[in-house]
Amino acid sequence: MTGPFGEPAANVDTSKPEYNEILAVSRGMATAVAPPGGLTDVQVALMRAVTKAVTDVDIDYRSLEPLSCEAFAAVLARRGQQYKQRLVHHMVLAEMVLTPIPEEVAHRVAECAEAFGITDDFVGIARKYAKGALGLAWNDLRRSGFAEHFNDQSMSTLHSKAALADPWEEAPPEPDLEERWRHLADLPEGSLGKGVSDMYRDRGFQLPGSRGAASAYLAQHDFVHVLADYGTTIEGELEVFAFLGRADPDPKGFAWLATMIGLFETGYVDRQGFFEVDVRDRRLDNPGMDVRLADAIRRGKAVAEKLGRDLFTVDYHSVAEHPVRLLAELLEIPDKSPDAIAAGSIGPFDPGGMSEYQREAGLRLAQHATS
C-alpha cells in the first residue's frame, strides 16, 4: 500500500495459531483470571467473543480444564514477545472487568506474565486496582499509556501549538486551530472533514481550539468515529477506543481501552477530559456488547498488522477533503462483522448513534445559531 499514510509495517507475523494452541491459550487465560467463585458471565462472554473474533474459533470458557502458568508459557515458547504481550493484555482486560479485582487473580496474571518473560506496566496497574490504590493506578496508567506516548508525538499532525503534558488536559484557546476545524464544514458531502464537522454540529461539540474544548490530540479519535463507523454513545466510545488501542502497533495503546473500561464499566478511573465516570449501567452486561467490543479489537488488530501506525498520529486535516470510504480503504480498516452489526454496533449518523444529552446539545446549538 502507498498513499498519504505511509507503508505497512514489515515482518509482522499474521499467521493464525492452530486449534490446539487456541484451546491451550484459552485454558491458561481462564485459569489465570477466574475469581474464587469461578469466571463471571461478563468474563466468559468477553473472552469467548474476543477469541472468536480474532481466531474464528468458538471456545466455551466454562468447560475448560485448568492450565498452570508454567504450562501456559511452554505452549507459547515459539511465539514472539509482542504476541505474548497481547495475550497478557487480554488477561488484564478480563481481570479489569471485575469489581473488585481479587488479589489472587491479579497475582496469577502477574505470575503468567513473568512466566512468559513479559514485563508489562498494565499488569502492575491491575494489581494496584486489586489493592484499592486507584490514584496510584491512574498515575501509572497515565504515565505508561499517555504521557510518555503523547510527548513523543509530532505536534505538526495536530496543527496545534499547545504544549500539554498529556491529551486529557484542557487545551488553551487557539484561534487558528479553531478556524481550521471550522473550515471542515465547507468540504464536500461524503468527505471525512464534512462528516466530522456534521458530527460535531449535531452534538453541540465545541471545536478544538475554542475555550473549554478537547485537546487536538484527543480530538483525533473523532475522525476515527467517522472512519470506523462508531457512534458517540458510551457503547460507541468503548468500541472506538478498543479499535484505536489495538490498532496501535505499540502495545501501550491498550491504555485507551483500559481507561474507558475504568470510566464506564468499573469506576476505577475518575473523570478525564470530557469523559465522566458512569457505572450505573454496566455496559458490558448489555446484550451484544461483548461481540461489539471483540469485533472492534479484531478490526484494530487488522489495522496494526497491515498499516503499522498509531492512528492518533495521522494528519487527518491533510486528507479531510477525501471521501470517507476511500480513506478507510487506504487505512485498511476492515468492515464490521455481520455479528457486530446484528449485536447493535451503529455509526455516528445512524438513529441511536448519539446520546440523548448530545442530541439536546446539538438542538440548543442550532437554535442559538438561528436566533
117-130 pLDDT, tens digit each: 999 999 999 999 99
Q: How are the residues of the chain apportioned to helix, strand and coil, as percentages rounded to the nearest 5?
A: 60, 0, 40
Same domain? 235 vs 302: yes
DSSP state of 350: S
| Domain contains 277 | yes
Confirm if 260 and 93 have CB atoms less than 8 A apart. no
Global pTM value: 0.92
Same domain as 180, residue 119: no
Tell me which residue range forms the domain holding 87: 15-132
180 vs 208: CA distance, rounded Å: 9
Show which of 65, 100, 132 is a domain's final residue.
132
- Do 117 and 175 fall into the same domain? no
Instruction: Let me know whether 168 and 234 are in one domain.
Output: yes
Question: Do residues 231 and 347 lie in contact, with contact meaning Cβ atoms separated by under 8 Å?
Answer: yes
Q: Determine, yes or no, domain membership for 145.
A: no
Domain count, the chain: 2
For residues 241 and 348, state if they share a domain.
yes
Tell me: do 321 and 220 sit in the same domain. yes
| Residues 337/53, Cβ–Cβ less than 8 Å | yes
Q: Say yes or no: 207 and 285 in one domain.
A: yes
For 75-127, what is each residue's pLDDT tens digit? 999 999 999 999 999 999 999 999 999 999 999 999 999 999 999 999 999 99
Burial of 51 (C-beta count, 10 Å sphere; 0-12/13-18/19+): buried
The answer to whether residues 45 and 163 belong to one domain is no
Amino acid at 216: A
In a domain? residue 147: no
131 has pLDDT over 50: yes
Residue 141 located in a structural domain: no
Q: Is residue 146 part of a domain?
A: no
**CA gap 116, 123 in Å, rounded:** 13
Q: What percent of the chain has pLDDT over 70?
A: 91
Q: Which of 68, 97, 132 is the last residue of a domain?
A: 132
In a domain, 142, yes or no: no
Q: Tell me which of 63, 97, 132 is where a domain ends.
A: 132
> Do residue 70 and residue 192 come from a single domain?
no
Question: Distance (Å, rounded) from C-alpha 305 to C-alpha 132?
Answer: 36
Q: Are residues 99 and 184 in the same domain?
A: no
Residue 218 lies in a domain: yes
Q: Are 127 and 96 in contact (CB under 8 A)?
A: no
